[in-house]
Protein backbone atom coordinates (compact mmCIF):
# COMPACT_ATOMS: atom_id res chain seq x y z
CA UNK A 1 0.00 0.00 0.00
CA UNK A 2 1.44 3.38 -1.04
CA UNK A 3 1.15 6.41 1.16
CA UNK A 4 0.22 9.83 -0.13
CA UNK A 5 2.78 12.60 -0.64
CA UNK A 6 1.16 14.49 2.27
CA UNK A 7 1.70 11.48 4.54
CA UNK A 8 5.34 11.25 3.42
CA UNK A 9 5.78 14.95 4.19
CA UNK A 10 4.09 14.69 7.60
CA UNK A 11 6.16 11.63 8.55
CA UNK A 12 9.39 13.22 7.37
CA UNK A 13 8.76 16.45 9.27
CA UNK A 14 7.88 14.47 12.41
CA UNK A 15 11.15 12.55 12.13
CA UNK A 16 13.09 15.80 11.62
CA UNK A 17 11.38 17.24 14.72
CA UNK A 18 12.42 14.16 16.71
CA UNK A 19 16.02 14.52 15.55
CA UNK A 20 16.00 18.25 16.35
CA UNK A 21 14.65 17.57 19.85
CA UNK A 22 17.36 14.94 20.42
CA UNK A 23 20.12 17.30 19.26
CA UNK A 24 18.74 20.12 21.40
CA UNK A 25 18.64 17.88 24.46
CA UNK A 26 22.18 16.66 23.88
CA UNK A 27 23.49 20.18 23.32
CA UNK A 28 21.81 21.37 26.53
CA UNK A 29 23.71 18.66 28.40
CA UNK A 30 26.98 19.45 26.63
CA UNK A 31 30.02 19.67 28.88
CA UNK A 32 32.03 21.94 26.57
CA UNK A 33 33.71 24.92 28.19
CA UNK A 34 31.81 27.95 26.82
CA UNK A 35 35.14 29.60 25.92
CA UNK A 36 36.34 26.56 23.95
CA UNK A 37 33.45 25.01 22.02
CA UNK A 38 34.52 21.83 20.27
CA UNK A 39 34.22 21.46 16.53
CA UNK A 40 31.71 18.61 16.90
CA UNK A 41 29.47 20.73 19.15
CA UNK A 42 29.60 23.59 16.67
CA UNK A 43 28.66 21.18 13.85
CA UNK A 44 25.70 19.84 15.87
CA UNK A 45 24.49 23.40 16.49
CA UNK A 46 24.68 24.14 12.76
CA UNK A 47 22.75 20.95 11.99
CA UNK A 48 20.12 21.88 14.58
CA UNK A 49 19.71 25.32 13.04
CA UNK A 50 19.35 23.81 9.56
CA UNK A 51 16.78 21.30 10.81
CA UNK A 52 14.72 24.03 12.48
CA UNK A 53 14.74 26.09 9.30
CA UNK A 54 13.74 23.11 7.17
CA UNK A 55 10.90 22.24 9.56
CA UNK A 56 9.71 25.85 9.58
CA UNK A 57 9.70 26.02 5.79
CA UNK A 58 7.83 22.72 5.44
CA UNK A 59 5.20 23.69 8.03
CA UNK A 60 4.61 27.19 6.68
CA UNK A 61 4.37 25.91 3.11
CA UNK A 62 1.61 23.53 4.24
CA UNK A 63 -0.31 26.58 5.46
CA UNK A 64 0.22 28.46 2.19
CA UNK A 65 2.92 30.78 3.52
CA UNK A 66 6.42 30.92 2.08
CA UNK A 67 9.32 32.12 4.24
CA UNK A 68 12.27 33.63 2.38
CA UNK A 69 15.17 35.28 4.20
CA UNK A 70 12.99 35.79 7.26
CA UNK A 71 10.17 37.42 5.26
CA UNK A 72 6.75 35.77 5.08
CA UNK A 73 4.78 35.78 1.83
CA UNK A 74 1.37 34.37 1.03
CA UNK A 75 1.90 31.59 -1.49
CA UNK A 76 -0.19 31.94 -4.64
CA UNK A 77 0.40 30.48 -8.05
CA UNK A 78 1.94 33.07 -10.38
CA UNK A 79 -0.99 33.01 -12.79
CA UNK A 80 -3.49 33.66 -9.99
CA UNK A 81 -1.35 36.51 -8.65
CA UNK A 82 -1.09 38.12 -12.10
CA UNK A 83 -4.85 37.81 -12.62
CA UNK A 84 -5.59 39.32 -9.22
CA UNK A 85 -3.25 42.25 -9.89
CA UNK A 86 -4.89 42.94 -13.26
CA UNK A 87 -8.37 42.79 -11.72
CA UNK A 88 -7.34 45.29 -9.02
CA UNK A 89 -5.90 47.61 -11.67
CA UNK A 90 -9.07 47.32 -13.75
CA UNK A 91 -7.24 45.64 -16.63
CA UNK A 92 -8.36 42.86 -18.89
CA UNK A 93 -7.39 39.28 -18.18
CA UNK A 94 -5.59 37.31 -20.86
Look at residue 94 and tell me if it is in a domain: no
What is the helix (H) or strand (E) element at residue 18, kind and residue range?
helix 5-28
Q: What percent of the chain has pLDDT over 90?
A: 36
Structural domain range at position 60: 5-89
* C-alpha dihedral sign at 84, 82, 66, 13: positive
Listed as ranges, residues in the chain with pLDDT below 70 are: 1, 32, 65-94
Torsion angle, alpha carbons of 69, 70, 72, 73, to 10: -10
Into how many domains does the chain fold?
A: 1
Look at residue 59 and tell me if it is in a domain: yes
Let me know: does 24 contact 41? Beta carbons within 8 Å.
no
Task: Give the pLDDT score at 36.
Answer: 80
Task: Give the pLDDT score at 62.
Answer: 73
Look at residue 60 and tell me if it is in a domain: yes
Look at residue 37 and tell me if it is in a domain: yes
What is the helix (H) or strand (E) element at residue 72, kind and residue range?
strand 71-74
Task: Give the pLDDT score at 37.
Answer: 82
Task: Give the pLDDT score at 65.
Answer: 57
The pLDDT tens digits of the residues spanning 33-53 come to 777 888 888 899 999 999 999
Amino acid sequence: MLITPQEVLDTSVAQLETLAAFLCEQLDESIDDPKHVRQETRACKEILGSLRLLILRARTRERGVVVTNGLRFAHRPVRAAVGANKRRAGGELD
